[in-house]
Chains A and B, each alone.
Chain A
Amino acid sequence: DAGITQSPRHKVTETGTPVTLRCHQTENHRYMYWYRQDPGHGLRLIHYSYGVKDTDKGEVSDGYSVSRSKTEDFLLTLESATSSQTSVYFCAISAQEGIQYFGAGTRLSVL
């Protein structure tokens, strides 16, 4: 998975609890992305980063925040998880525009 590690790989949590997903890369790529994958919707961009402390919103950013304090780490936080955030979350990295490499994903269930 192109030097990308997502953790945890699986998580079950309760509604209203905070959740943080981590993406770690060893490729020193500038761009990092968080997507969610749901049946019938494909991959939808949540947030992305174009450098340390430089982030921007994607198309489904409500209820999510991100942080990037180091080139290699990109954190996705659900401040107060809801059942609608049950999904599979993928991190991706990119050094070249348009070419993205994906991690193995985190399966999150919010009960």
Chain B
Amino acid sequence: QQQVKQSPQSLIVQKGGISIINCAYENTAFDYFPWYQQFPGKGPALLIAIRPDVSEKKEGRFTISFNKSAKQFSLHIMDSQPGDSATYFCAAYGGATNKLIFGTGTLLAVQP
């Protein structure tokens, strides 16, 4: 019940296309859902986050869509660029654990 399932494991998108990464969770006590971006040789960096009281949050080309009833959330990268090539992790926080639970990551490659 503490898991966060992330898909796909890897993704190849053409420049200018839309990248979509999906995550699902079971624990309804989670109340904060961040996405992290990680470039090779670097630590993960907070990209965007959402709380379950809203269905969508947009920051520039990055959008989180949240479906509370389905217990799913997704990251959309519009007009994907080669510089977006990185590993993306979804995560969930809240409940009794007070810990971030991470998905297994998605390796995104944006081809020029």
Contacts and interface: CB of A to CB of B under 8 A. Distances in A.
What is the predominant secondary structure among interface residues of chain A facing chain B? Answer: strand
Contact of A99 (B6, B34, B105): B34
B112 interface: no
B61 interface: no
A102 B34 CA distance: 14
Contacts of B98: 97
Interface of B: 6, 9, 32, 34, 36, 41-46, 49, 89, 93-94, 98-100, 102-105
What is the predominant secondary structure among interface residues of chain B facing chain A? Answer: strand
B93 A97 contact: yes
Top-4 shortest CB links A-B: A102-B43, A98-B93, A98-B32, A42-B104
Contacts of B41: 104-105
Contacts of A92: 43
Contact of A90 (B9, B44, B49, B103): B44
B102 A104 contact: no
A42 B105 contact: yes
Interface in A85-108: 90, 92, 97-105
A90 B100 CA distance: 14
B99 to A, nearest CB: 6
A16 interface: no
**Residue from A40, A43, A44 whose CB has the most chain B CB atoms within 10 Å:** A43
Contacts of A110: none
A105 B99 contact: no
